[in-house]
Structure formats: C-alpha cells, structure tokens
Amino acid sequence: MALFAIFQTTFFLTLLSLRTYQSEVLAERLPLTPVSLKVSTNSTRQSLHLQWTVHNLPYHQELKMVFQIQISRIETSNVIWVGNYSTTVKWNQVLHWSWESELPLECATHFVRIKSVVDDAKFPEPNFWSNWSSWEEVSVQDSTGQDILFVFPKDKLVEEGTNVTICYVSRNIQNNVSCYLEGKQIHGEQLDPHVTAFNLNSVPFIRNKGTNIYCEASQGNVSEGMKGIVLFVSKVLEEPKDFSCETEDFKTLHCTWDPGTDTALGWSKQPSQSYTLFESFSGEKKLCTHKNWCNWQITQDSQETYNFTLIAENYLRKRSVNILFNLTHRVYLMNPFSVNFENVNATNAIMTWKVHSMRNNFTYLCQIELHGEGKMMQYNVSVKVNGEYFLSELEPATEYMARVRCADASHFWKWSEWSGQNFTTLEAAPSEAPDVWRIVNLEPGNHTVTLFWKPLSKLHANGKILFYNVVVENLDKPSRSELHSIPAPANSTKLILDRCSYQICVTANNSVGASPASVIVISADPENKEVEEERIAGTEGGFSLSWKPQPGDVIGYVVDWCDHTQDVLGDFQWKNVGPNTTSTVISTDAFRPGVRYDFRIYGLSTKRIACLLEKKTGYSQELAPSDNPHVLVDTLTSHSFTLSWKDYSTESQPGFIQGYHVYLKSKARQCHPRFEKAVLSDGSECCKYKIDNPEEKALIVDNLKPESFYEFFITPFTSAGEGPSATFTKVTTPDEHSSMLIHILLPMVFCVLLIMVMCYLKSQWIKETCYPDIPDPYKSSILSLIKFKENPHLIIMNVSDCIPDAIEVVSKPEGTKIQFLGTRKSLTETELTKPNYLYLLPTEKNHSGPGPCICFENLTYNQAASDSGSCGHVPVSPKAPSMLGLMTSPENVLKALEKNYINSLGEIPAGETSLNYVSQLASPMFGDKDSLPTNPVEPPHCSEYKMQMAVSLRLALPPPTENSSLSSITLLDPGEHYC
C-alpha cells in the first residue's frame, strides 16, 4: 500500500514537472509573429491575395490562431479595413487569404500588415497579440502605361442591383476631367489630385452588351483625350421554377423546369447559365444540354424513389432546387391512338380507341370530350387496353368533334395529350314548323298575298332544307287546292287569290321528310278599317311597343315592321307574341340611326285570321335633316316677297320634320316683326323666324324697304337639330314706281302688238284683193303671137347702132313724165286711152336723124289693140336728135325673145343671158323725176292697158364701153312716140 502511494506521488510530480517545462518553453516563444508576408493582386476580380507563414511553431503541432489583417489606402495612416482571420496552423504551413476591394486597385496604392494571437484551448489565458508585421505596399499604377488619362476597372462583371465604384487617374492635374454614364454626367469624390472615385449604387441592367462609361480630359475648350470602360451588368440568376420529372414508359425520366431570365452577356463575357442534374441516392450527376429540360435514363434495378437536385450556375452565383418522388407516381401516358366511330345514325354513335400498354394489370382512366353546336359534353371511363363508349342524344345532321385522353387510374399524375376525330350524324325530318307571315294587298276582284317564312334553325332543320311546300286550300270550295313547291333558300312567294277564304299550309322539306305544317288563313272579307298611325320614339335598345288587347279570343299577336322608305320585301321582319302579352320590345342590330321604321300590330283569332289593330312609326335615333329645301322667290315687290318650298319632301328625312327656321340678313341689321335675333355658327348675326308647322311651306316676308338688299336661308329642323349649313340667297327689292310703270307699259305693249298683228293680217287681205300677183311673162302667149304682129312700117336697125340705158314703163292717166336718161329730157302724157308699148331708144349723144324705134304691144292685156296693129311712127322733133334710131331689127328681137322663151323651159345653154321682166307699172329707173326736161314731147294717146314684155339683157343691155353710156329704155304710147 505504501509502495502504491510512493509510486502515485512520483508520477504526479513527474507530470507536473513536464507540464511546467512545456509551459515555460511556449511562454518563451509566445506570441508567434507572422513572417514572410507577400501580397499579390488579381485585376480581374480586383482583389489582394495574401500569403504568410508562422515561425517558431513546435514540430508537428497544430495551433488554432487568429490573424488580424489591416489594410490602408494611399498612405499607411489611412486604414480602410480591419478584420480577423481564424484558422488552424500547422508547422511550416503557408497560409492564404484574399480580400476584394471595392475601389479598383489601379486607382490607389494599398498597404497591408498582419499580426496574430494563439486561440487554442491547450493554452491558458491570457494570450497576447504578436507584433505587427511590416507594411507591404501594393501599387498597380506603375504598370498602366504613360497615357494622361485612365478609367478603371476594365470590363468588370457585376450583378444587377449591386454597388460599383469606378475611378479615373489623370497624369496632369491641370486637366479638367468630366465623366459620363450612358451620356449622363456623374460626379465623384476626389481621393488625391490625380484620382477621383465614383460610387454607383444599384446599377441597372441596360443591355447585354454592357453599360458605357467614359471620361474626357480637357484644358479650356481643348480636349486632351477620352477614355472609357464597359461595365457588364448581368441579370440576377433566378432559381428554376416548376421543376418536375415524369416517365412515359418506365425507361426514361423526362425532367422540365422554367429557367427564368437568361443571364448571358455579349462579347462572350458571360454565357447562359448552366444546369446540372444531380441524383443523391445514386450519386450520379449529369450536365444538361438544354436550358429547360433534361432526360435521365432509368436503370433496370429496383430503384423507385428518386431525389433530384437541379443546380443553375453562372459566373456570379449558383441556385438550386430539389424534388423527391416515387417513380410509379409520376407516370405521364402517351396519347391514345386508333380513334374511330361506329354505327353512326341521326342521334347515336359508338366511339372506340386504344392506349399504349405500360405494365401488366395497368388500369387507365380515360376522359372523353364531345363538341358540337357550341356545346361541350364530358364523359369518364376506365379501360385496360382498348376503350369504347356509346354516344347518345346527338343532334341529327350535326358535325361533332370527339377526343379522348388517358391517365394512370391508380396514382393520377396528369392527363395525356388529346387524340380526336370528327364525325357527322345522319339527317332526320325537320322537327319544327316554319315561322310564316303574310302581306295582303286588295285589288279589284282578288287578293295578292305575299307569304314570308323564316329559315329553320340548324337545330330544327335536322339537315339541309331542299324546298318548301305551299298548299293553298279554298275553304269555300274544299275540293280545290293547289301545291306550290318553292326551292330553298327562297323565303317568300306571291299568290294571287280570288275573293274566297283560303287556308295556306307551309312545310319545310329535307332529304328525309317534311316538317310540321304552319297554317295561316286569308279571309274572304278582310277587315279594312282605317287605323291611325302613331309616332313613337326609339332608343338605343330598340322600340318599346304596347297595344290594347283585341276583344274576343285570340291565340296570339304578330308585330311586323319594315323600313319606311324601302321595298317591303327587302327588310320585312315580324315577331310572334303570346296571347296574354300586350307589349314587347323590338330590338335588333339591323336598326340604323336616321332610318324610319313602320310597325303594324295584328291580333290572331282562333281561326288564325289576322286583324290589324294598330300602326306605329318612328326612328331608333333621329338625326338632323340631310338636306335643305329648294326655295323659290315669288311676288317680289318693293316692300315684300314670298318664299315657297312646296316640293320639299319630309318623308325621306332622317327624322320627323318639326318645322323650319328662316334666317334673314339685311344691311340695316334690324329684325322685322315676327323675327328675332340669332347668331350663326360662323359668328355672324341675322334675324330668325321659326315655323312650327312642317306642312307650312311658304312665308311672306314684308315690311321691307324699296331698292334694298336682303339675304335669306331656310333650313328644316328635327329633334336632333337643324339641317346642313348653306349659302344665303340674295334678293333685291325693286323701286316703288317700277311696278306702276310695269302695270301701265304691259297693257300698252300688248295693245300695240295686237294692232300690228291685225294690220298685218288686213294688209295681206288688201294685197290679195287689190294687187294680185302679176303673171309670169315666160308663160305669156306673147312669145307665140308676136311674130304674127310684125309692123311693116318699122325700120330695123343694127344692134350696134343703138345701146339702151334703161327700160321704163310709163302708164299714167295724165301728166306722166317719161324720162330718157341718156338725153335728160322727158315727155308728158295727158291722156292714156290706148295700150302701152315698149320702145327701145338709142342713147348715143351724137346720133341724128329720124328713125323708128321698136315697140311691142301688151297683147296679154289688150288683145284688141294687138289685132288692130296700132303702132306707127311719129315724126321726130328736131329738138331731140339724140333720141332717134333703133337698137336692132324686129326679127332679131323676135328671135331673141323666142330663144329666151325656149331657154326658159329648160333649154338655155350655158353662158346665155336670161330675159328681164319689165313691169307694166314701172316708174323711172334712173334719175330724179324733178330733173326731167321742161319741154317734154307729148306722145299720142294710148290704150288704158299697159305694155308688157320680156327683154333679153344680152340684146337690150350690152356691156358699156369707154365711149358709151347707159341709155334709157322707155315704154311709150304706140300712137305717139319718138325714135
């Protein structure tokens, strides 16, 4: 026992001595100072990388130590960061630590130092910090080059929303430097005379090709240089959404997810985020080649539970999401196939399909959707491999679309894709009678009935309507009926019936059969009572109609309507109303503003005879008149005028005409009685008169001033407003006395015209009575008789011996002057009792000696004188020697006369002259009667009848020469004449 106690005491003393020795050894070496500190830079990440060692550590011992790191900028006294770094230090171990700078390292010089302390439980407290290591200086500016301006950092990559610090370094402190972010100037903090820093908070994403920042150095107005950088701002990497995995065949898992925003940047600065699929139970990993889906091969082992982690990663961060599932609960079936329809009829069909086999005894839940006629019906059915379903209660002649999808019935995950097909049921006979109405027009002896029917809806037609049968049965003579077949798609027909009662049945027919009949009765004596038309006002919702109930039993009412101004057949519509209803609302998209509609309300008796109850007319929305009347100005006086527009039609207007506004302007700008002042749309003032009666289409504007200028304009108005603006018509009132002059002058002018007309008519009567037309000498018998009346005593002269100037007919009872123009002498006749003769007298002034002249009797008027041959010579007075001589011989004259006579009958050769007619009432042809000679030669008495002849101008009037002048040809008495 004592030995044990001695041994225990010896052990404790030895242990205590060893502990005391270790403590003394460590105490002598503590604190441990870091040595061999080295600092390097990473410009891409803008970080400082430190490495150091700790000497004097016991061999093969590990100590927990804390290192305090201090970083200064620009100068050692400017400490910008202090922090501790804890780690376990081994003997002779090189330690590493990094620090990322907010300010680009190129912008300033940095200083780093470090100290340490042992923080190990094996050593008692207290522990002491070691001394600081010496400062390590880090400067990157020396490697930037010799340019005068630099901007840092270069091509920095940051995430949207982070804070970024940039700076510029200017070699010349005299330069003025301005910096801009995307063209907008920014302001910073000057770190030293050469460096200025800019803090950009929450930088936004602008474009995937980076954000532009540049600085410009200048002295005065002279630019010294420009430098810039591109700051690459990435979208924030999002966590994948809707991560899910499923299988179609238990061979492959198909995983999908929503990747969110793509973080790729331009210039290959950062690619799109990558996705990695990791399964924790198997420890397998797969890098996905697509950014929103990835396939995972299922092994043939018995693994049914999977734990997947999807990792999204880019240069700046990582995101991950996890799912855990059982494989049998994530079955997504392939869509069914071989969809068919069997035994299709008008109302039924059988649908069949197949599904892809998965495992033995696998049960599928299938869903069927049936679409048709705007409806959708849904059915569920469980199947093994092949599916079948009976579709009933279908509509005839209807196209349906049926589709099916399936899912796992044991563990429902999701439906498969749809598989479907269309089919059409067969036709059936129409199930409803057509809606029929009529318009009856009474004509003498018959009825003209226009039948209308509405097409059956597709639901009731049960197929394509081919034709309509119209059966007309005479109720007064039941054995007589007519069948009219109207091909579709016609919806009306016209029937001409006599004054008997008729029953009309209309059926619609398709390829299967006919519809029920629609019956309407036309009475033999329709009630034609006059119904007053009532005006109604429509609204945006249509027309609200009400009527008094018809006395007696009725089976219903019919309201029909049409456009007031168009053909009834164009837009005729009707509506059936029940027997207990006396009001309805007619609402349709066909109603247009400004169009007038006429409504008629009929009551239907139990015998299906229609009786007109009421008439209504109105507009769904009234508009202002579309045109103005054409105004005529009547009864214009000095104090008034009348305006009328009788031809203006109010029926075709887009509203009920309530009256007219008459606008009047005058220079006086004073309104007349009944007029009031008004201001037009152009701001001008005028006078306005309102006519409230639309049928009053005339107005007398009175109390006007004479010789005054007025302007007027007339426009109709409805409840919606006035008609269109137009130009004013100008009217000027006449003078007060002008009307009196008109009242006096018009009757005078009328009387004068009447007297002139009467005088003209009277003068025609006098001329025809007293002065009949002289016969044509060419038709006279003188030409045939003159050759038998030749006077043997006449002396024939050559034509060249006597050239006549004129032919003059003289026939005066007394004191007649006969002028010879060639000699300026005249003969006075005191008594005419014998026929006149025609003398051809010479006109040569140097002619002398007596000689006969040619005379012709007017045998047409004096046959007796012609028979007596009273034509002789009279001695020529010596005072008139120039009047002697004959122009030509009688034979030549006769020949000329005969030739002209023959030529007058159409045988005159070209170039011959014709005969000139000499009137028996001829007067002197040339000269003045008062200039006749004062001592005329008195011719002998002649007959009361005058001579008449035709003389050839070729013989009697040869063309004048220089030595000749015109001669006179004078008719003298046959008994007393001179040659």
Q: What is the pLDDT of residues 646-676, one digit of tens each?
A: 888 888 889 999 999 999 988 877 887 888 8
Closest listed residue to residue 397, CA positions, set 338, 346, 467, 327: 346
Length of the chain measured in residues: 979
Q: What is the pLDDT of residues 53-109, one digit of tens each?
A: 988 777 778 889 999 999 999 999 999 999 999 999 988 889 999 999 999 998 999
**Pick the residue with more confidence: 726 or 412?**
412
User: Could you tell me which CATH number the domain at 335-423 has?
Assistant: 2.60.40.10
Residue 590: pLDDT band (50, 70, 90) is: confident
Per the model's pLDDT, the better-predicted residue between 730 and 885 turns out to be 730
Instruction: Provide the CATH number for the domain formed by 147-232 in this structure.
Output: 2.60.40.10
pLDDT tens, position by position, 693-744: 999 999 988 888 888 888 899 999 999 999 998 888 999 888 776 666 677 7
At 683 the pLDDT is 80
Residue-level pLDDT at 808:
55
**CA pair distance 470, 35, nearest whole angstrom:** 120
pLDDT of residue 143: 65
- Rounded Cα gap, residues 875 and 979, in angstroms: 8
Distance CA 56, CA 33 (A): 9
- What pLDDT shows up at residue 830? 37
Residues 6+ apart with CB under 8 A from 477: 500
Give 339's pLDDT tier (boundaries 50, 70, 90).
very high
Q: Are 682 and 669 in contact (CB under 8 A)?
A: no
Higher-confidence position of 122 and 39: 39
What mean pLDDT, rounded, does the chain reach?
79
pLDDT (0 to 100) of residue 679:
86
pLDDT at 899 over 50: no
Average pLDDT estimate for 314-326: 95
d(CA 154, CA 105): 11
pLDDT at residue 292, as a whole number: 95
| 885 close to 979: Cβ distance less than 8 angstroms | yes
Q: Which fold does the domain 32-136 belong to in CATH? A: Immunoglobulin-like (2.60.40)
CATH architecture of residue range(s) 628-738? Sandwich (2.60)
The H or E element that residue 768 is part of is helix 736-770
Distance CA 394, CA 399 (A): 10
Superfamily of domain 239-327, CATH level 4: Immunoglobulins (2.60.40.10)
Is residue 940 over pLDDT 90?
no
Quick one: which H or E segment has residue 953? helix 953-956
- pLDDT tens readout for residues 617-652: 999 899 999 899 999 998 888 888 999 998 888 888
CB environment 221-245: b (16+ within 10 A), e (fewer): eeebeebebbbbbbbbbeebeebeb
Contact criterion met (CB below 8 Å) for 406 and 379: no
Secondary structure (DSSP) of 86-134: EEEE-TTPEEEEEEE-SS-GGGS-EEEEEEEEE--TTSPSP----PPPP
Range 11-26 average pLDDT? 47
Of the ranges 171-175, 298-302, 502-506, 846-850, which is most confident? Answer: 502-506
> Which of the given ranges, 458-472, 769-783, 837-851, has the highest pLDDT on average?
458-472
pLDDT band at 174; cut points 50, 70, 90: confident
User: Is the pLDDT at 258 greater than 90, yes or no?
Assistant: yes
**Which three-class secondary structure state does DSSP give residue 493?**
strand
- Residue 546 pLDDT greater than 90, yes or no: yes
Span 754-782, average pLDDT: 73
889, pLDDT greater than 90: no
Reference 69, options 57, 86, 54, 56; nearest CA is: 86
Q: What is the DSSP string of 651-694?
A: TTSSS---EEEEEEEETT--PPTT-EEEE-TTS-EEEEEEE--T
CATH number of 434-617: 2.60.40.10
The residue type at 19: R
> Phi/psi class of residue 264: alpha, beta or left (left: φ > 0; alpha: ψ in -120 to 50)?
beta
The residues spanned by each domain of the chain are 32-136, 147-232, 239-327, 335-423, 434-617, 628-738
CA distances from 827 to 542, 882, 931 (A): 113, 14, 12
Q: In this structure, what DSSP letter does residue 43 have?
A: T
What is the per-residue pLDDT for 867?
Answer: 41
Is the distance from CB of 947 to CB of 837 less than 8 angstroms?
Answer: yes
Higher pLDDT among residues 713 and 568, named by residue? 713
Closest CA to 865 of 828, 891, 836: 836
Environment class of residue 820 by beta-carbon count within 10 Å: exposed (0-12), middle (13-18) or buried (19+)?
buried
pLDDT at residue 359 tops 90: no
List CB contacts of 437: < 8 A, sequence separation 6 or more. 451, 452, 453, 520, 558, 560, 574
For residue 803, pLDDT over 60 is answered with no
Distance between CA atoms of residues 858 and 775, nearest Å: 13
Q: Cα 250 to chain center, whole Å?
A: 63
Which strand (E) or helix (H) includes residue 400? strand 399-408
Give residue 779's pLDDT: 60
- Please give the Cα distance from 286 to 268 (Å, whole number): 24
Token look-up 């092994």 returns 299
Of 449 and 928, the structure prediction assigns the larger pLDDT to: 449
- Percentage, residues of the chain above pLDDT 70: 74
Which pLDDT score is estimated for 887?
41
User: Is beta strand 685-691 parallel, antiparallel or unpaired with respect to 176-181?
Assistant: unpaired
Place 300 in a pLDDT band, splitting at 50, 70 and 90.
Answer: confident
The confidence band for 953, taking pLDDT boundaries of 50, 70 and 90, is very low
Lowest average pLDDT, out of 25-39, 485-499, 961-975, goes to 961-975
Question: 565: pLDDT confidence band, cut at 50, 70 and 90?
Answer: confident
Q: Residue 201: its pLDDT value, please?
A: 95
Judge whether 147-232 and 434-617 match in fold.
yes
Residue 121 pLDDT: 81
pLDDT at residue 979 above 50? no
pLDDT for residue 492 is more than 70: yes
Q: Is 472 helix (H, G, I), strand (E, B) or coil?
A: strand
The pLDDT of residue 567 is 60
Q: Residue 813: pLDDT above 60?
A: no
Higher pLDDT, 887 or 571: 571
The pLDDT of residue 740 is 67
At 948 the three-state DSSP class reads coil
**DSSP label at 957?**
S
Average the pLDDT over each of 272-276, 283-287, 570-574 and give the range with the smallest value.
Answer: 570-574
- Confidence label for 958 from pLDDT (cuts 50, 70 and 90): very low
* Band of residue 540 on the pLDDT scale cut at 50, 70, 90: confident
The confidence score (pLDDT) of residue 635 equals 85
Burial string for 520-554 (b: 16+ CB within 10 Å, else e) reads bbbbeebeeeeeeeeeeebeeeebebebeebeeeb
Contact between residue 314 and residue 240 where contact means Cβ atoms under 8 Å apart: no
846 has a pLDDT exceeding 70: no
Average pLDDT on 410-437 reads 94
Q: What is the pLDDT of residue 776?
A: 66
Higher model confidence: residue 65 or residue 147?
65
Question: 484 in helix, strand or coil?
Answer: strand
| pTM > 0.75: yes or no | no
Q: Are 256 and 293 in contact (CB under 8 A)?
A: yes
With tokens 């006979």, the residue in question is 429
pLDDT attached to residue 459:
86
> Which band of pLDDT confidence, cut at 50, 70 and 90, is reported for residue 11?
low
CB 469 within 8 A of CB 483: yes
Tell me: pLDDT of 18 over 60.
no
Q: For residue 26, is pLDDT > 70?
A: no
The pLDDT of residue 821: 38
Reported confidence tier of residue 261, pLDDT bands at 50, 70, 90: very high
Higher pLDDT pick, 752 / 820: 752
| pLDDT above 50 for 959 | no
DSSP string, 588-625: -TT--TT-EEEEEEEEEETT-BEEEEEEEEEESS----
> For the residues 502-526, what does the mean pLDDT come to?
91
pLDDT of residue 805: 53
CA distance 239 to 233: 19
Given a contact cutoff of 8 angstroms between Cβ atoms, the answer to whether 110 and 72 are in contact is yes
Q: Give dist(CA 132, CA 119) in Å, integer.
A: 17
Please report, for the chain, how many H helices and E strands are present, in that order: 8, 59
Q: Of 162-166, 169-173, 956-960, which gets the smallest average pLDDT? A: 956-960
